[in-house]
A and B are shown apart, each in its own frame.
Chain A
Amino acid sequence: MSRKEKLFAMVRIGFAESLAYRGEFLIWFLTTNMPLVMMLLWMAVAKDGPVGRFGTREFAAYFLTTVVVRLLTGAWVAWQLTMEIRTGTLARRLLRPVHPFVAYACEQASALPLRALTVAPLVVIILLTLGTDLFSSELSHWVVFPLALAGALCIRLGVMMTIGSLALFWDSALSLYDAWLALFFVFSGYTIPLELFPAWIQPLVNWLPFRYMMSFPVEIVMGHLDGRQLLVAFVYQWGYALLFSVLALTIFRRGLKRYAAFGG
């Protein structure tokens, strides 16, 4: 049996589960509203004149695209992994001839069709109200956008699996994710377009992984990046995806040696 068929089976069961939990998903969807709050705030600021290149319409386009990226790259594996380690239910995954991370990744990926379905009306609203002139007209940007979304999702999964795996060593590992989220909100472009940061902080912003989880895909569809900038950003993005994946696998492998499987 091919590896593809196995992955498809896992994605299919994850999709069936996401349909079973559609109410929960809808609530999550409706509560992903921080960019909308920020949009209103920044639009109020831009009423008297643009902030950098952002006028009211640009802020609206930026933050609505942010919502789309957030919905398509959201994940919950840090909470799931931590909970399964603490309750011992990780044992169920360890008994199967599939690496638990592959299974988690398939489960996260299986939620994408439902998310795409809910994001579609939002995209239509954006285009009807703001028009298409605020977004990139270059075909190449739209071609690489899914790759940037995939990279953003991979970094998020890598970070979440790294922090989740730390629960094998430390009961309170999830508190690290809270700290990570605090930095993410500031440095990812989720609450403020990154180019509005002072020039002296820009190198740090470009160096940290947060930009590549949120702002980078948004910058692509808004046509803010030229070819060279795109390439450099992709190298950073997939470099971070690889780094966090290796880190997560290493911590998980070492942690299993001391796993007590209590309750499992």
Chain B
Amino acid sequence: MTILSDTASVSHAIVANDLAKHYRVHRREAGISAALRSLFARRFETIRAVDGISFAIDPGERVGFLGPNGAGKTTTIKMMAGLLHPTTGTVTVAGHRPAARHHDFLRAITLVAGQKQQLFWDLPPVDTFELNRAIYDVPRAEYRQRLDELVGLLEIESVMQKPTRQLSLGERMKCELAAALIHRPALLFLDEPTIGLDIAMQATIRRFIADYNARHGASVLLTSHYMADVAALCPRVIVIDHGTIIYDGTLEALAQQLRPEKRIELRLTATANAPSAWDCGDRGRIVEREGTRIVIQAPQGVVKEILAQAIDELPINDLTVADAPLEEVLGALFDKAAADRQARDPDQTADTGKSVAIEKR
């Protein structure tokens, strides 16, 4: 485990050292008899939601925080936002201990969760903006200027005076972002900000986040199950699984490490030459062949040769060369992590990997 030095927190926006959060949860079987039994002897289980993670994030950095459901992403974000007290370890955000919830710390951060809202449901978003102006001490002239900028970037002028309950999901999310950024935080925690949005709205939100990061140098920590968000916004990813970090680095390096092969997609003009008869020998393998479409996976070094052969032998209408899809790369990473866990502890099943202790009371 890498333990970062205390001085690291001075230059980093976020420093987590051996950070852990364990929950004690009550468990019981279904049925009346189990309910009655639990009156006298309650069974508790300790869940290691986050189990000793260390990392550092620089000012202005955009980092994707990835992992399957229940991996510990949101718990970690909540610890960094000061909502949860760590069980062990330390975290420093913008020079503060988040759990202390110092007002200077709260002014330096924002948390936007796609499934939660801070806008007042029955009031227009502009009322929430005005409230945030007051409680975050934003001078009125500066507020006007920031609001104009946010309204322009997010195109919310026509909606911010309607009651929040009458807005569409996309309009609401754009107003949520505006409300969360009125105080111009230096650190953005974004927990699935595009969940449920259509493709066009996802792209708008992504553009806005990138633009905010570029304009104001804010650090962005993003969790999302939409890999397009991560690919577009995050040069670096931290992958967490079963409460531990299983990868921290660039997306390219991850893809290179787990799926080093390139993916060549060929689209043919006609099926007359029966593509099923065509292959590229032992230079690569055909992973999909359907109608006029052929997908080949091959090492980087032989891509040119395969392309030359294909252009020579097939009636090609279009072709693309790309890395393996991010979903596939992450899937491979999780499989590898599960295999490593299994190898370390053969008795452990995937489902119980996070349980550490059962006690009766």
Q: Does A associate with B in a complex?
A: yes
B122 touches A96 (CB 8 A): no
> B137 contacts which chain A residues (CB < 8 A)?
1, 6
Q: Give the contacts of A4-30 with B (CB-CB under 8 A).
A: 5-6, 8-10, 13, 16-17, 20-21
Contact with A along B82-97 (1 / 0, CB 8 A): 1111000000000000
From B131, B137, B138, name the one whose CB has the most chain A CB atoms within 10 angstroms: B131
A258 and B25 alpha carbons, distance in the complex (Å): 12
Once A21-B122, A260-B23, A261-B84 are accepted as A-B contacts, the answer to whether A96 and B116 lie under 8 Å apart by CB is no
B85 touches A97 (CB 8 A): no
- The distance from the CB of B216 to the nearest CB of chain A, in whole angstroms, is 19
B120 touches A13 (CB 8 A): yes
Once A95-B111, A260-B23 are accepted as A-B contacts, the answer to whether A17 and B82 lie under 8 Å apart by CB is no
B24, closest chain A residue (CB)? A258
- The distance from the CB of A163 to the nearest CB of chain B, in whole angstroms, is 22
> A96 contacts which chain B residues (CB < 8 A)?
106, 135-136
A259 and B130 alpha carbons, distance in the complex (Å): 29
- Which single member of B23, B83, B99, B134 contacts A264 (CB below 8 Å)? B83
A93, closest chain B residue (CB)? B118
> A1 contacts which chain B residues (CB < 8 A)?
134, 137-139
A91 and B103 alpha carbons, distance in the complex (Å): 15
> A88 contacts which chain B residues (CB < 8 A)?
116
B101 touches A94 (CB 8 A): yes
> A181 contacts which chain B residues (CB < 8 A)?
none
B83 touches A261 (CB 8 A): yes
The yes or no answer to A257 lying at the interface (CB within 8 A) is yes
- The distance from the CB of A16 to the nearest CB of chain B, in whole angstroms, is 6
Q: Give the contacts of A226-264 with B (CB-CB under 8 A).
A: 256-261, 264
A260 touches B84 (CB 8 A): yes
Q: Give the contacts of B36-94 with A (CB-CB under 8 A).
A: 78, 81-85
- The distance from the CB of A22 to the nearest CB of chain B, in whole angstroms, is 11
From B103, B127, B133, B135, name the one whose CB has the most chain A CB atoms within 10 angstroms: B135
A257 touches B85 (CB 8 A): yes
- The distance from the CB of A156 to the nearest CB of chain B, in whole angstroms, is 24
A1 and B130 alpha carbons, distance in the complex (Å): 13
From B106, B109, B117, name the one whose CB has the most chain A CB atoms within 10 angstroms: B106
B135 touches A6 (CB 8 A): yes
The yes or no answer to A92 lying at the interface (CB within 8 A) is yes
The yes or no answer to B146 lying at the interface (CB within 8 A) is no
Q: Give the contacts of A74-133 with B (CB-CB under 8 A).
A: 88-89, 91-92, 94-98
Looking at chain B, what size class is its interface with the partner chain? 20 to 34
The yes or no answer to B123 lying at the interface (CB within 8 A) is yes
A87, closest chain B residue (CB)? B116
- The distance from the CB of B356 to the nearest CB of chain A, in whole angstroms, is 17
- Which single member of A5, A17, A97 contacts B120 (CB below 8 Å)? A17
> A256 contacts which chain B residues (CB < 8 A)?
85
B111 touches A10 (CB 8 A): no
- Which single member of B117, B118, B122, B135 contacts A9 (CB below 8 Å)? B135
- Which single member of A10, A258, A259, A260 contacts B135 (CB below 8 Å)? A10
A91 and B98 alpha carbons, distance in the complex (Å): 13
> A17 contacts which chain B residues (CB < 8 A)?
120, 122-123
Q: Give the contacts of B220-265 with A (CB-CB under 8 A).
A: none
B108, closest chain A residue (CB)? A97
> A98 contacts which chain B residues (CB < 8 A)?
135
A256 and B85 alpha carbons, distance in the complex (Å): 8
Once A91-B78, A95-B106 are accepted as A-B contacts, the answer to whether A259 and B84 lie under 8 Å apart by CB is yes
- Which single member of A9, A21, A258 contacts B134 (CB below 8 Å)? A9
A259 and B87 alpha carbons, distance in the complex (Å): 12
A10 and B83 alpha carbons, distance in the complex (Å): 22
The yes or no answer to B107 lying at the interface (CB within 8 A) is yes
A6 touches B106 (CB 8 A): no
Contact with A along B112-129 (1 / 0, CB 8 A): 010011101011000110
> A21 contacts which chain B residues (CB < 8 A)?
122
A13 touches B131 (CB 8 A): yes
B109, closest chain A residue (CB)? A95
B183, closest chain A residue (CB)? A97
A13 touches B127 (CB 8 A): yes
A257 and B118 alpha carbons, distance in the complex (Å): 23
- Which single member of A13, A16, A20, A91 contacts B83 (CB below 8 Å)? A91
> B130 contacts which chain A residues (CB < 8 A)?
9, 13
> B85 contacts which chain A residues (CB < 8 A)?
256-259
A88 and B74 alpha carbons, distance in the complex (Å): 13
> A8 contacts which chain B residues (CB < 8 A)?
134
- The distance from the CB of B199 to the nearest CB of chain A, in whole angstroms, is 28
Residues of B within 8 A of A (CB): 23, 78, 81-85, 99, 101, 103, 106-107, 109-111, 113, 116-118, 120, 122-123, 127-128, 130-131, 133-139, 163
- List 7 A–B pairs whose Cβ atoms lie within 8 Å, in order of A's numbering: A6-B137, A9-B131, A9-B133, A10-B135, A13-B128, A89-B116, A92-B117
Residues of A within 8 A of B (CB): 1, 5-6, 8-10, 13, 16-17, 20-21, 88-89, 91-92, 94-98, 256-261, 264
Shortest Cβ-Cβ A-B pairs, 10 listed: A9-B134, A97-B103, A20-B122, A97-B106, A1-B137, A261-B83, A13-B131, A257-B85, A92-B118, A91-B83
* Further pairs besides A95-B106, A97-B103: 13, Cβ < 8 Å: A5-B134, A9-B133, A13-B123, A13-B128, A16-B120, A17-B122, A91-B78, A91-B116, A94-B101, A95-B83, A95-B109, A95-B118, A97-B106
